[in-house]
Structure 1
Amino acid sequence: MMPPVFRFAPSPNGALHLGHAYSALLNLDRARESGGRFLLRIEDIDATRCRPEFETAIYEDLAWLGIAWENPVRRQSEHLADYRAALDKLSALGLVYPAFESRAEIARLVAVREAGGPWPRDPDGAPLYPGNAKSLSAGERTRLIASGTPYALRLDMAAACGRVGGLTWNELGEGPNEERGTVPAHPEAWGDVILARKETPTSYHLSVVVDDALQGVSEVVRGQDLFHATSVHRLLQELLGRPAPTYRHHKLIRDEAGRKLAKSSRSTGLRDLRAAGATPASIRRLVGLD
C-alpha cells in the first residue's frame, strides 16, 4: 500500500501568517501520524502578484517552524503544459467556451439583471456569470480572438454536470455547517466558472485538480473557506478521469474582530511574530496545536 500524501500549497503573493502556519502544521502532523509524505507546492500562476521574495520567505518561515518537505518543490509556473493538456481535454468534450466581457462589463450586466430581481451568486458571494458568450457563433468567436480581444475560458456548467451523475466527497474535517462524512457536491452553484484566461493559461480550480492528481495527493487538508469549492474540484476530477482524494477542511484562524486573516495583517505575520520573540512552540500554542 502506498503511503498517504499530504501537501501545503501557498501562493507567494504575501507573507505567511498564523492561518498558514496552522494549515501547514496540520498537514505535517497528519503526515507524521499516518506515516505519509509531506509535499510543498508553490501556487504561482498569478504572475502579477507573485514575487520571488515572497517565495523565499515561505521557505524560511516553514523551515523556522520545523517543517521539512520533499524536493523538488512543484512550482505551478513550471508546469503550464499540464494544465493546457487538461483544458484541451475539456475543450474536446465541448465543455469550454471563450467569454469576452471585461470585469466592468460583467458588473454592468449583473446590475441590469438585478433590476428585475436578485441575481444568483456563488457560495463565495460573487454573482454568477451573466453573459451570453455561449450563444456566439464559431465565426464570431474566431473573429474576436483574432482581433486580440481579451477573453476568459469558462466551463459550460450545465453541459458538464449533464455528463456526470451525482457527485460526493468524503469529508474528514467539517464544513461551515459541520458537514462531515459523505458530502454531496453542488458544482452548479458556481455557474460557468473560469478555467483560464488569455493571459493566464489556468485557474486555481483547474490547476489544483491537476496538481493533486499528478502528485498523488490522497488527503487534502485545507481551510473551511475552500469547502464549497470542493464541488467544482470533484466535477473536474470526474470529467478529467482523475482520482478523488479525501478532504479535511479545518477551522480558520481569525483576528480579534473575527475576520479571516489576510497576508497584510502584520500582527499575525510569522516573520513579525518571530522578530517579536515568538518560537515555533509558541506558534503551535497560538493556533491551538499544543
Structure 2
Amino acid sequence: MEERFGKRRVMAPALLLAPMVLLLVGCLMIPTLGLLRSSFLPGSHLLDGSGFSLEQYVRFFSDSYYSSVLLETFVDGILVSLICLAIGIPTGYSLARLPPLARRWRTIIVIMPLTLSLVVIVFGWLIILGRNGVVNSLFLNLGIISSPKQLLFSRPAVLTVLVQQFLPFMILSVMSVVTQIDPVLEQAAANLRANRFATFRKVILPLALPGILAGFNLVFVLSISAFITPRLIGGNRVAMLGSLIYERMMAELNWPSGAAMAFILFVSGLGFTATLNAMVASRLFKGRRHAF
C-alpha cells in the first residue's frame, strides 16, 4: 500500500510536467536541432545540397570581420549588464524595503515598459534621439549645443536603448532576492556599529548574490542576442552578431551561414555565463569556508 502511494506521489508531478516538456520538445528542441543540422550544409541555401560540412564554421573563424563582431557583441553585452547592475541593485534594494502596497505600485511602473512592443519602444527612441528629437531640442534650448547632433547610428545610442529595455529584468531579479533577506540582519549589523556601506557590502551583497548573478546573466544573454535595436538604432555603423544573423537569414536567405553564427553565439554565450557562474560560486564557497 505504501509502495503504491509512493509511486503515485512520484507520477503526479511527472504528469503535471508532461505538457510543458512536450511543448518544449516540439516547439523548441526539434526546431533547434533542425537549425543545427542546417548549419552543417555545404551550400549557401537550404536547397543547395545535402551532406555534412564544416564550411560555414571555417568561413566564420577564418574571417577576422566575424571575430571582431563577436567580440564587440560580447563587450556590448557586458557593458549593458554592468550599467543595469549599477542602476538595478540600488533600485531593487529600495523597492524590496518599501511597504507592500507601495512596492506593488512601483513594481507595476518597473514592469510597464515590458508590456509595450519592442518595435514601438525602438521607434520611440528614434524620435527621441533624432536630429529634431527631444534630446537635441532640449540641448539647443539650454544652449549646450549650437546645432543638432547626430545621436542615432552610434554605439552609445544602442547601449542606452538596450539598458532601457533590459533594466527591469535586473531590478526584478534583485528585488525578488532582497525581499527574502530579513531586515533584522541589517539592524544587527547597525548594532555592531557597521555603517550602511559596510552593512550592504558584508550582509546584503553576499546574500543577494544569486539574484544579482541571475539578473546579470539574463541581461547579458538578452543583450548579445538583440537584433532589432542594433539594426534600427545602430544602422550599418554598429555591428552586432544578432543583427548580422537576422540579415544573413532574412535578407540573404543564407540559412546555413546564419544557423552557424547562431550556434556560435549560443555556445560562446553559454560558455561565458557558465564560466562566470563557476567563478562566483567558487569564490563564494571559498569565502564561506574561511568564515567557518
- TM-score interval, smaller chain: under 0.3
**Structure with larger Rg:** 2
Q: Which has the larger share of strand?
A: 1
TM-score relative to the length of structure 1: 0.23
Q: Which has the larger share of helix?
A: 2
